[in-house]
Structures are given as C-alpha cells and as structure tokens.
C-alpha cells in the first residue's frame, strides 16, 4: 500500500495505482480531467496531457520534486508522494494551454454537433479554457466518412485520443480501425473504406470524448438535453443488455451504454441493443438515470425525490441519492 | 353645514371647473393603429428568424433557445441539409419546424441571448397581434422567418 497526499488530502491506495486513480478515489473537484485515459481500455492514456499534475515530492525515500509536470493517468504512485493539482498555478496554466492546443483544429460546431451537452471537450474548455481563440490560420478540414451503416466519423472534431482505436483492438477481434499519418496529418482511418462490421463496433461511439464518432440513427434527431435518460435492460444473447435509453415521450431516440461520473462505460453493449432495439416494448425500464445537477441534461429531468426512497421497494441503484451526512 | 355648503353651488362650480380644465389638456389617447406610441429602443416584441447576407437561414436548430426559454414556448425539429440546399440553409443542420407559442412566451429575450448563431431576435417594432383562436398564436416558420429580400425592396 502507498500513502500519497493529493491536493492536501491523504489517501491510501494499492501499489501500482496511477495518480489519477488515486485522485478518483478521493473524488470531487480535485480529480484531474482526462480526455484520452479510459479505465476499461488497456494501454489508453498519456496522449492528451490534460491530466498533468505537479509532483512536489517524489516519494518518502526520495523527496525531490519531479522536474516536469507528469501525466497523472500513466504515472504510478509511490509511498509518500505529494501531488498538487488544483492548488498549483503551474498546473492550471499548463492545462489552459493544452485546452487551447486541443481546440486549435476543433471546428467548434457545437450547435450542429450531436455530442453537445455531453461532450468532454465542451466541459473541459468550459472549465479550463479561455473564451477567445488566438489561432488565425485555417483549421484542417475533412469530409464526413461513413464507418459502416451506423457510425459516422467527423474527422474535423477528432482530438486523436486513440480511445476508439483501443476499443476496436480490444473489444473486436480483427483490427479494422486505426490512426493513419503522423502529427498534424494524423487521422482516424479504416484502412480504405473497410467497414466496421463487428458486433461491438458501436462502442467506439460511447468512448469518443468528442463528437467525432456519432450514431447515425440518432443524427440530428434531437438535442441530448431534451431527452430523458432511463436505465433499462433486456435479455441479450451477446451482451449484458444493461443500457441507458434516451427517449422523449414513448419513443426511444438513442441507446447507449451506462456511463459513470467520469463518462466511462460500465459495460460495453452490442450493436443489436444499440441500433436495432428502438421500441419501448423491447426494454424493461428500471427508472430514471441519475444526472449531475450541473449538467444541461438535468434541465426538466425528474428523479425520485429523496424522501420517498425508503418507502419505494426494490429501487434501482441509479435512483438512490446520497443523503447528506450529519 | 353652513348656508353656502347647503346650496351646493360652489361645489358644482368647482366640479365644472375641473371638467373645463381637461378640455384644454393634451389628450392621453392616440389613434391606434394609425398612430403608434414610440417604444423604448430595447423593446422586445415579436420574434424573427434572421437570414444571413446571402439569404440563407441562420438557425441550425441547436436547441439552446428552447432550453433557455423559461416559459418552454419554443419547440423545433432538426433536419439535415441536402446537396443543393446550401443557398437556403447556412449550416449542415437546419430547423425543419420551429414553433413559438406566443401565449406562453413572456418576451424575456433569453432566446436571443442564448442563440450562438445570431438567428433569433425580438423585434422592436412588432407585436403579436390579438387573435380569436388559441392555435393561431403558435407561430411556425412561415411567420417567424424573415422574408427574403427581393431586388426591389432592397
């Protein structure tokens, strides 16, 4: 076990845990943001640099500070480590610069983009970015690409986090999806129009932190904040069948995997559940999904009130709110 | 009461005096609709969906006006622009229907503030006129979108 101090809060974690995971154990506002790191995907992390933190004391044995800011998602903890995130000016300034770099080639077409409202990059730039851009050169542009009948790739919006590449490698057996080119010219390619036809290929939509990979069956159907998220399940022979339905009235507009507070999916779902089961009768509704109060999706979203929780039997986990401790 | 009070004559004269004074005052009424009162420069009246300099609709149906609306008066459905419609719609997504319920609207102007595309504005010279039927107050795109400018009216 290693004991570290993160933003002045002491936390004890297993050896080999990354700083980011230790911070997530504390939770709340001190957790560094992560655009490329994704817990269920092996090898992800270390690319986007938004999770940079300052290590002011390397370990109890060697108390020298680390010379540069380190990416917290791939740096393992050491006993006696002292880490600063929100309390360090250098980290916050570096993060501001990184957001600016990520947005250099981003088209900022949020009013058109289907990801708006649940976009990690939107949240990140809202919290850490500046409202104006200093970039004057033309942004790189790409045409829309259809990856099979269900997925659309908007390469202009991509921040090259590689999450979808790892998903395609690890969830699916064949490698059909990768990054072509280098540096500024890098792009997500499908090896010359190779369609992704794996049964779990739809999960690249869920892992994408921006609107680069979007669901074609949901394209322009509605805005995410007008839809109601509900937990539901069905007997699925290929996957767990535990999903979130995004609907309006009695129509299911979109099906996604269930995501936790760090937008990481709990269980990957299959394409049949995601794209073909768009009827209320296909699903057993468990109840409304908990939406963070600060999210735009929480507008007009009603959950079971806290006072009723003890008297309603067999409530799904998502509806139970944490009671304030006295 | 005194004698003069009992006669009521001074009181009647006083009352007539007030009436006479009003003959020479400026009238409080105007001949609407021939004349209209001047409004404040920041008056918020009937909505308009603007077009850009090429005559294409600016609205992309992003839904920010509807989520900002405290009266929930705005509804819309979005559609994808097809090839050859670039002169009609500015962006690849556009509003197929866009409705504002003028009975619900409180003319607060939050939709105008929320709009990222400078598409919706509350005009300073137009009102939603009185009508007989409730459904006539639901303004669709036919009444909201700014009319196309022709060469004569330019």
A108/B contact by beta carbon, under 8 A: no
Work out the percent of chain A whose per-residue pLDDT is above 90.
56
Mean pLDDT of B51-59: 92
Q: pTM, whole model, 2 decimals? A: 0.82
Q: Which residues of B touch A109 (CB under 8 A)?
A: 91
What is the β-pairing status of strands A9-13 and A251-257?
unpaired
Q: In what order do the strands lie in the sheet with B93-101?
A: B74-80, B93-101, B138-139
Tens digit of pLDDT for each residue in A269-295?
999 999 999 999 999 988 888 888 788
Give yes or no for a contact between A53 and A4, defined as CB atoms under 8 angstroms apart.
Answer: no
Domain boundaries, chain B: 47-144
Q: Could you give the CA distance from residue B103 to residue B87 in angstroms, rounded to a whole number?
A: 33
Architecture of domain B47-144: 2-Layer Sandwich (3.30)
Q: Whose CA is closest to A164, among A201, A123, A113?
A: A201
Of the listed ranges A181-185, A244-248, B74-78, the one predicted with least confidence: A181-185
Q: Which tokens go with B153?
A: 């009216």
Q: In what order do the strands lie in the sheet with A213-215?
A: A145-147, A151-153, A213-215
Please report where in the chains the tokens 């003319």 appear, as a residue.
Answer: B107
Helix (H, G, I), strand (E, B) or coil at A294: coil
Q: Mark yes or no for CB contact A221/B67 under 8 Å.
A: no
Q: What is the reported pLDDT for A261?
A: 87
Instruction: Please report which confidence band the pLDDT of residue A319 belongs to, taking 50, 70 and 90 as the band edges.
Output: low
A112/B contact by beta carbon, under 8 A: yes
Neighbours of B15 (CB within 10 A): 11
pLDDT tops 60 at residue A310: no
DSSP letter for A321, please.
Answer: P
Mean pLDDT score of chain B: 90
Q: Which residues of A touch B64 (CB under 8 A)?
A: 111
Instruction: Please report which confidence band the pLDDT of residue A99 belongs to, taking 50, 70 and 90 as the band edges.
Output: very high
Q: Which residues of A touch B92 (CB under 8 A)?
A: 112
Q: Which tokens go with A68?
A: 């540069």
Q: Quick one: three-class SS letters along B27-71?
A: CCCCCCCCCCCCCCCCCCCCEEECECCCCCECCCCCCHHHHHCCC
Instruction: Please report which confidence band the pLDDT of residue B81 belongs to, taking 50, 70 and 90 as the band edges.
Output: very high
Q: What is the reported pLDDT for A305?
A: 55
A111/B contact by beta carbon, under 8 A: yes
DSSP letter for A9, please.
Answer: E
Please tell me the distance in Å from A300's CA to the nearest CA on chain B: 9
- Shortest CB distance from B92 goes to which of A110, A112, A116? A112
pLDDT tops 50 at residue A192: no
Q: Which tokens go with B129?
A: 């006129």
Instruction: Please report which confidence band the pLDDT of residue A166 belongs to, taking 50, 70 and 90 as the band edges.
Output: confident
CB pairs under 8 A between A and B: 36
| ipTM of this predicted structure | 0.78
Mean pLDDT of B91-119: 94
- Phi-psi region at B83: left, alpha or beta (left = phi > 0; alpha = psi -120 to 50): beta
Q: Could you give the CA distance from residue A174 to residue A146 in angstroms, rounded to a whole number?
A: 19
- Phi-psi region at A26: left, alpha or beta (left = phi > 0; alpha = psi -120 to 50): alpha
Q: Mark yes or no for CB contact B91/A111 under 8 Å.
A: yes
Q: Which residues of B touch A220 (CB under 8 A)?
A: 61, 78-80, 93
B59/A contact by beta carbon, under 8 A: no
Q: Which residues of A touch B91 (CB under 8 A)?
A: 109, 111-112
Chain-centroid distance of CA B12 in Å reads 47
Please tell me the distance in Å from A109's CA to the nearest CA on chain B: 9
Instruction: Please report which confidence band the pLDDT of residue A103 belongs to, taking 50, 70 and 90 as the band edges.
Output: very high
A130/B contact by beta carbon, under 8 A: no
What is the β-pairing status of strands A187-189 and A178-180?
antiparallel
| Residue of chain A with shortest Cα separation from B81 | A220
Instruction: Please report which confidence band the pLDDT of residue A199 belongs to, taking 50, 70 and 90 as the band edges.
Output: confident
Instruction: Please report which confidence band the pLDDT of residue A200 belongs to, taking 50, 70 and 90 as the band edges.
Output: confident
Q: Could you give the CA distance from residue B47 to residue A114 in angstroms, rounded to a whole number?
A: 26
Tens digit of pLDDT for each residue in B106-130?
999 999 999 999 999 999 888 888 8
Q: Mark yes or no for CB contact B63/A223 under 8 Å.
A: yes
């Amino acid at each position: 076990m290693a004991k570290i101090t993160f933003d002045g809060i002491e936390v004890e974690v297993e050896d080999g845990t990354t700083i980011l995971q230790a911070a997530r154990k504390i939770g709340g506002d001190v957790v560094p943001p992560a655009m490329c790191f994704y817990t269920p995907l092996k090898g992800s992390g270390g690319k986007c640099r938004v999770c940079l933190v300052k290590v002011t004391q390397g370990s109890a044995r060697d108390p020298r500070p680390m010379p540069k800011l380190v990416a917290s998602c791939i740096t393992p903890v050491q006993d006696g480590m002292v880490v600063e995130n929100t309390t360090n000016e250098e980290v916050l300034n570096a993060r501001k610069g990184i957001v600016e770099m990520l947005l250099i080639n981003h088209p900022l077409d949020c009013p058109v983009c289907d990801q708006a409202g649940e976009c990690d990059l939107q949240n990140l730039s809202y919290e850490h970015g500046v409202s104006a851009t200093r970039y004057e050169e033309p942004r790189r542009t790409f045409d829309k690409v259809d990856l099979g009948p269900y997925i659309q790739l908007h390469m202009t919006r991509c921040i090259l986090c590689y999450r979808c590449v790892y998903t395609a490698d690890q969830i699916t057996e064949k490698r059909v999806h990768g990054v072509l080119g280098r540096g500024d010219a890098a792009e997500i390619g499908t090896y010359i129009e190779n369609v992704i036809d794996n049964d779990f290929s739809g999960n690249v939509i869920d892992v994408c932190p921006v609107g680069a990979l979007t669901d074609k069956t949901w394209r322009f159907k509605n805005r995410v904040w007008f839809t109601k998220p509900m937990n539901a399940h069905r007997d699925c022979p290929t996957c767990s069948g535990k999903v979130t339905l995004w609907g309006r009235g009695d129509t299911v507009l979109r099906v996604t995997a269930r995501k936790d507070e760090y937008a990481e999916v709990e269980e990957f779902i299959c394409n049949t559940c995601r794209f073909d089961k768009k009827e209320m009768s296909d699903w057993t509704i468990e109840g409304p999904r908990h939406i963070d109060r600060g999210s735009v999706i929480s507008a007009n979203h009603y959950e079971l009130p806290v006072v009723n929780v003890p008297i309603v039997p067999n409530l799904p986990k998502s509806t139970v709110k944490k009671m304030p401790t006295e | 009461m005194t004698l003069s009070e009992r006669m009521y004559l001074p009181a009647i004269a006083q009352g007539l005096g007030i009436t006479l004074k009003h003959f020479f005052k400026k009238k409080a009424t105007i001949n609407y609709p021939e004349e209209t009162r001047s409004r404040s420069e920041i008056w918020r009246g009937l909505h308009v969906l603007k077009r850009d300099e090429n005559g294409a609709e600016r609205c992309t149906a992003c839904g920010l006006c509807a989520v900002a609306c405290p009266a929930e008066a705005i509804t819309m459905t979005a559609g994808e622009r097809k090839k050859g419609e670039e002169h009609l719609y500015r962006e690849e997504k556009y509003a197929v229907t866009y409705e504002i319920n003028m009975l619900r609207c409180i003319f607060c102007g939050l939709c105008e503030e929320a709009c990222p595309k400078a598409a919706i504005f509350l005009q300073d010279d137009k009102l939603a006129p009185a009508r007989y039927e409730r459904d006539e107050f639901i303004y669709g795109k036919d009444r909201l979108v700014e009319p196309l400018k022709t060469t004569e009216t330019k």
